[in-house]
Amino acid sequence: MLDKKVPIFSITRDYISRLKTGVNHIASTESKLKFKNFSLKDEISFPQIYYRGAYKNKPDINILKGNNFSLMWGDLGGLGLRLKWLKNAISKVYFIPIDAISGERAFYTFMQLSKILHFNLPQNSKAFSGKVNRYEGLIMLPCNLRVDTKDVDKHIQEIQVLITTYQLHPNHDNKLINIMNSIKVKAPQDNLVLYVKQEEFRVLMENKTLLRLLQEYFEKYFSALRGYIKNIQDNLFSEQDILNYFKNHPKLALEFKKQVQGDIEIIKSQSPHIIDSWKYYQEFLRICADANII
């Protein structure tokens, strides 16, 4: 409970991009347990992903017709209602375009917001340098590779390698060591990391055979992961696909335009430049104009 009004910030994003993410959103996966803990001897595999709609293993753009655009609860057209709920707790709303929290700009943006909203200054810039991005092939992360060292040296303890990202495990206390540079293997995405405990890192550095085994394993693992990610990305819909769908379904375009109009007016009243910067939403408005959708 808040005992006084406070400023808040709200992330804004092109509504066509939000629809795209909703269409591509994961409904569930097969059990991830076997993908969470595995050994060098286990077959390299990744979970089958299922998407909302008819529990399919590929996204289905036709779900736009049956969900009243509620691809996430209260996602589209609900900004005014949420602000109404919070009206007695808000002193000011800062609308932040999603580009401001993407890539290299994210860390700077949160540094500035910390001064305005008075939260602790962020410290780890790497945690802000990329997105978790799990729906594009990293849904099973974080996971552990158990390295049974008895086959290499019976005097060495078992080693566990944590496969994760900077965003999932910022490693603020530096108790874990990233071995990516040590095994010299290129990961499919720059934000992927391989962490081991400090004492296990010393064991690795003292045992070239063990280090070579890990290098060979992750060459295979990352190659398989690269193919898995590509297969997923090849099936995802783009903003242009969403726009083309609206071109072919003008009645649906009108329904969508009406549903988000209240949100658009709220954002535009304070930050019109944000609405103007939305490339795909502006194209959507042109489609509506060409189809005489008012």
Q: Write the DSSP symbol of residue 106.
A: H
Q: 15 and 78 in one domain?
A: yes
pLDDT tens-digit map of 198-243: 999 998 898 888 899 999 999 999 999 999 999 999 999 999 999 9
37: part of which helix (H) or strand (E)? strand 37-39
Q: Are 32 and 47 in contact (CB under 8 A)?
A: yes
Same domain, 13 and 159: no
In the three-class reduction of DSSP (H, G, I as helix; E, B as strand; rest coil), residue 99 is classed as helix
Please provide the size of the chain in residues: 294
Q: Which domain holds residue 87?
A: 1-24+59-122+238-294
One domain, residues 161 and 220: yes
Query: What is the rounded distance in angstroms from the CA atom of residue 132 to the CA atom of residue 200?
Result: 26
* Per-residue model confidence (pLDDT) at position 73: 41
* Residue 226 sits in the same domain as residue 245: no
**Residues 256/280, Cβ–Cβ less than 8 Å:** no
d(CA 40, CA 160): 11
More confident residue, 32 or 20: 20
pLDDT at 20: 92
